[in-house]
Each structure stands twice: as structure tokens, then as C-alpha cells.
Structure 1
């Protein structure tokens, strides 16, 4: 009698509960399913409901691309502030460790791929026997900086509360983007000292767990971060990751407005300014109004993503009037299908907060950047774009901390008039596409990961 077929390999995927973390891990999950691996994707209950709503599906009635969507409590009440990263991160282990343990045992899970921001999950290896790979939602350079934080504290660059004591320039390898201590991700993650203290304490507590991971999966590729990847233990760069074009993805927590795609079709090739600041950036009224005026002042068509919680002090009436005023030359949407936008031939440049997902997507599609970082790792990513790859320019605020409409107009003109930036963006696009094509470095690393997960 023939032996029964081997069961389908079964992996649990666990993102930190934020848009920029859920999306790339969902993209990786689609790739794993394509290689015959069964995936349980674990969101918090709050984000699970958001993802299902964004897809236009009923709760419990969705199985995107063969991925099994499950959810667990995050330990917060219904009115909890889930934009407070420190509070969210601090409460997750107590809320999730026990139900994760039960889920792993009941489903006989052998592998967990956990966001590095959830690396407390390594505790489950001892109690359940599960093997754990970590996933980095930021660059290899930032991961290397994370590993370097204890030394920065020992050297007196930072204190135990992530306050800067010596604002030195940090560069761990010659090709790594230089970054000032004041722009380290954990320093500029919050303006509130108590929140920074909590974040740095979580980082230090989990630091010894990282070398225990079977692999560190990175959304990057060898051609752009070869030296930095050497500083990451067991690194497997598999990027740039993107959502599959032919299937629904539950990686979005905001409902995408696809009406912008026909609008882009009607614009001239290489003419549109695309403006998007991710899921956390918030502008006050002064900054918001200058940006609106600056986009008009460029005289170019623009597509601007404005989340419902993007600004304070600007009412719906003003925004509706602005939409009417710019109709025909500008389009404002709540949330855009960004990867499809960046791949569109009408897009000329990307005004971006420089989140790592956006950075990889812009690089993948050869789009020049106007860099406008907000917090966390975005300043390091700006340094990559402007100082290392040469594919963008920085925006500068005035003495009030406001980016003026004239600065926006002038920097857009500078960016789009620089043929060197366009040429370098095209070169890096080719490198990114080569890495994920069959036989490319990231494709080969993905196959290594599949082999590891199926052992």
C-alpha cells in the first residue's frame, strides 16, 4: 500500500497590529501559500474586523488566497488608543501568549513567523516546541541599529530612556546610510519621554531573544543592503514583497479607492505627483493647508491620499470645497491602492513619509521620491533614498517647523528636473525586479525559507 501523502506544511504568521506591519507579512503569506504552505494569519480582533471591512467581506466569511484568517484580543478596551504604539506593544504579551499557546497546540503548528516587534513570541519555543522565524518590517540597516542599541547606551550616546546624550553620526558600515543619533527610530518614535522609555525597555528586554530565531526574514534585497545584511544574524532577504495582482489581499486595514486608477489613465505619462503619508502621520492645520496650497502651486496633476484621521483642525466642509476647486487637475482619495498607483506610467514622483514599505514599493517601480519623514525609521530610509541611492530629495521645514507651499513647489520642480535621479531610480528598479524574478537573489532566498519551513 502506498504511503499517505505528507500533510501540507502549516505555519502561523503573527504581525504587530499596525498597517505597515500587517501588509508585508500578508504579502509574504501569499508567497508561502503559492509554494504549498498552509498559513494561519493572526490579527488582533480589532484589526481583523478592519481588514475584513476593507475587503468588503463578512466577518468569518473570507479566506483570501488560501490564507486562514484568525484573531485574538489585544488586551485593550473598545475605546483604547491603538495609535499609541508603546501602550499597544506593552499589553500584547499578556493578552496573546496564552491563546497563542493553545492555538499552536490545537492546530499542531510547527512554525511561527513573527514580526520582530513581537519577538516575545520566542517564549513559545520553550513551552510548545514550535520553531520561530522573525520578520523585519524595516530595513536591514535599522535592524542592525536595533541590535546596536545596548552599545549606544553603554557608550553614552543614549540613556536608558532613549534620550540623546551625544548627537553623533552613526554609520555601522561604509554603505550604510549615515544617521544622526537624534533621528534613531526609537528616539523619534514619540515626543513623550514616558512612551520612549517603554519602547526602549521592550527593545532591551527582547534583545537576547533575536539570536534564538531560526531566521530573520527581511523585506529587502541583497543588492541594496549587502553589508547591512551581514550584520543581521541568519538573514534571509526576500524583498521587495508585493501583493499578488490576481487575488484579494487582506493586508489593508483601510478600504482602497480604486476610482483613482481610471483618473490616472486620463493623465499624461510621467505627469502626476502622488502624495501619501502612510497610516500614522498626522498633520496639524497649518501644515495641511500649506501642503494643499503647495500641490496647487506646482501646476501639475496630483493624486493625494488623505485618511480620515490625517489632520486635526480641518473639517470635511473645507476638504470638500478643496476637492471641487481642484477638480480636473487634482484628485483626493481616502486610501489609494498604492502599489498599482506607483506602477502606473502617469506617475512622475512620490511625495512620501518614507515608511519602509513605501520605500520598497517606490524603489521597485522606479519612482523618484520627495522625502518628508514623520517618525521612527523614516529618517533612516530618507538617508538611504537621498544619501545612498540618490533617488530623491529632502523637503525642508521653515523656522516654525512648517513646510511652506513655496518649498513644495520648488522641490517638486528640482526633483522632476533632475535626470540623474530619474536614471538612478531606473537602475534600482531593474535591480529590484531582477532580485524577485526566477533565479534572482530574493527568489532563491524565498525557496530557502520554504525548504526550512517544510523540514
Structure 2
């Protein structure tokens, strides 16, 4: 599991602990990006029981090359703020998402990811460790996580990626041919 809430989102100390303990209780390995300024008005300190529980299967750092991480075969899911860039990078990498939208376009991106495209699940805005644990486990082990299932998250994510690529490529080709307005101007 890869966890990153982008470059602007801030969390409370309580939310940080709930996310951390939910990840710990899921028993899945994870990479978590915690920026130095991510916790509002406080430092990003997790309780000692968190560190003991996760020391063999977690890595926390302040930055990583996100596209490279998402394209690594060991990444089974992405816990994200649902920013447009992160959403598109996850889709193009074929990685399903757990969405925790915070502001701006993130709620819309989350709705499309979860409800329209069926390639993710939403974490309630009131973050509780039980819900984080349950959703991480469902994304990584649940019925829709199983390879070979016709309608699993990864298959659906790869289909959405191909459709997005085809649409973007078609629009760009039509623009270059002079038969369509620039895709950016729509």
C-alpha cells in the first residue's frame, strides 16, 4: 500500500494517529509519505505501539518519486487525497485507490474513482482506524482484489487507463489534424 496525501493537505494529530493505527492493524506492508508540514500545528509523531507494530513492514519518508512507486509491481493500492494528478498517475499505473478527499476538485475526483469508474473506495471524512483497517484489507484482499475475478479493482483500473489514453490520444490527433479544438479549451 502506498499512502500520500499530496503537497498541500494537512491532517490533525488525531487523524494522523487514526490513519497510522488503521494501517498498522491492516497487517499489510506500506510506504507512507509524511511531509514535515503535514500535521496542522504539531509535529508528525506516531505512538510507540504504532512503531513496534509496523517496524518490519513499513517505511515512512517525506518524499518519493510517486510515478515510479505507483508503477512498482508490489504496490497493490494507493491511499490518496484524490488530487487530479495523483488520481491520473494511479489510473495510468493500474493501481486502485482508497480516497480521502479534502478540498477543491478532490471530492469530484473521488466520486468518479469510487462511484462512476468503480476503481476505488472512499474513506469517511471522520477518519477512524477501524474504517481505515477495513478498507485497506478490502482493497488488498477482498473479493474485488482477487486476480482472475472478471470485475476486480486492478482490471477495472487498467480498463479506465486504456480508455483515458485512447480518448486523450484521439482528441490530440483530431486537434493536430485541425478538425477539433485544443483539448485544453473544452
TM bracket, shorter-chain basis:
0.7 to 0.9
On the 8 A contact 1:352/1:370 being kept in 2, the answer is: yes
Equivalent position to 2:88, from 357, 360, 381: 360
What's the offset of the Cα at 1:423?
2.3
Which residue does 2:128 correspond to in 1?
Answer: 404
Which residue does 2:118 correspond to in 1?
Answer: 390
What's the offset of the Cα at 1:445?
5.4
Q: Does 1:426 align with 2:153?
A: no
Distance 2:112 2:56 in 1: 35
The alignment partner of 1:310 has SS state of: coil
1:341-366 Cα offsets, whole Å, 9 max, x none, are 11111100111110111111111111
Q: 1:296 to 1:314 in 2, by over 3 A?
A: farther
Distance 1:319 1:445 in 2: 52
On the 8 A contact 1:323/1:331 being kept in 2, the answer is: no
Alignment gaps of 5+ in structure 2: 146-150
Distance 1:323 1:443 in 2: 48
Distance 1:296 1:339 in 2: 24
* 1:212-291 to 2 correspondences below 5 Å: 273-291=1-19
What's the offset of the Cα at 1:312?
2.7
Ranked by relative contact order (alpha carbons within 8 Å, sequence separation 6 or more), the top structure is 2
Equivalent position to 1:302, from 26, 30, 49: 30
Root-mean-square deviation (CA, aligned residues, Å) is 2.5
On the 8 A contact 2:23/2:136 being kept in 1, the answer is: no
Q: 1:298 to 1:312 in 2, by over 3 A?
A: same
Q: Does 1:414 align with 2:148?
A: no
On the 8 A contact 1:323/1:332 being kept in 2, the answer is: no
Which residue does 2:73 correspond to in 1?
Answer: 345
Equivalent position to 2:60, from 305, 324, 332: 332
Distance 2:100 2:121 in 1: 9
Q: 1:448 to 1:334 in 2, by over 3 A?
A: farther
Alignment gaps of 5+ in structure 1: 1-272
Q: 1:322 to 1:407 in 2, by over 3 A?
A: same
1:104-123 Cα offsets, whole Å, 9 max, x none, are xxxxxxxxxxxxxxxxxxxx
Distance 2:96 2:49 in 1: 26
The alignment partner of 2:22 has SS state of: helix
Aligned length: 170
Q: Give the TM-score normalised by structure 2.
A: 0.80
The alignment partner of 2:89 has SS state of: helix
